[in-house]
Chains A and B, each alone.
Chain A
């Protein structure tokens, strides 16, 4: 069965510092992996995805994520955090061989302090 774990409920980082939001997954077969961001009182916005190819994926707003097959991880990163990055971040996984279901993690709240 597919599953996603976001081990940190909350991540705090100072503006200008690098940030990492962690995600590990479990899926049979090749995974499709996604990151979404949710700003207050808004729906989820797509940030980036990994389907195949280069393990480093670049997405919106300067975010990137690295797919690590041996560690079954897909951590979200940004070299220099902004206060406006403060939001709720969701990692999601879908089995690449078919089906419709995408499983979402519980979410990690990122606070960026000025």
Chain B
């Protein structure tokens, strides 16, 4: 089974702090994704990566950056946390992009509260 782990289940930070969310997958997947989940809005894509050191902006990248130095690890960085970034953050990975390879597997999520 694919396992996607996230470094924290719950996190409380203060406005202006720099926040790191870590995600690790153990199945040699090429693609990794960061989403935020908010009630009534579903999942919105923040960033994704299709290879080591490669990244693409999703629909809501403002206020976030990412890092993928190793294939198995994809980090989401909040440069200066703000209260409107309080949310559930979900990491996902997929084998690739072709038919049969694009099912995404999700981590348990990190519930971030910014005070």
Contact = CB atoms under 8 A, between A and B. Distances in A.
What's the dominant secondary structure at chain A's contact region?
Answer: loop
A44 B37 CA distance: 11
Nearest to A107: B42
B102 A104 contact: no
Contact of A100 (B41, B97, B103): B97
Interface residues of B, number: 27
Contacts of B50: 100
Interface residues of A, number: 25
B48 A90 contact: no
B55 to A, nearest CB: 11
A65 to B, nearest CB: 14
Contact of A106 (B41, B48, B102, B107): B41
Given A90-B42, A104-B35, 16 more contacts: A34-B104, A36-B106, A42-B108, A43-B106, A45-B106, A46-B103, A46-B105, A49-B103, A51-B100, A94-B102, A98-B97, A101-B58, A102-B102, A106-B40, A106-B42, A107-B42
A106 B35 CA distance: 13
Contact of A102 (B99, B104, B108): B104
A100 B90 contact: no
B49 to A, nearest CB: 9
Interface string A26-42: 00000010101000011
Interface of A: 9, 32, 34, 36, 41-46, 49, 51-52, 90, 94, 96, 98-102, 104-107
A7 to B, nearest CB: 13
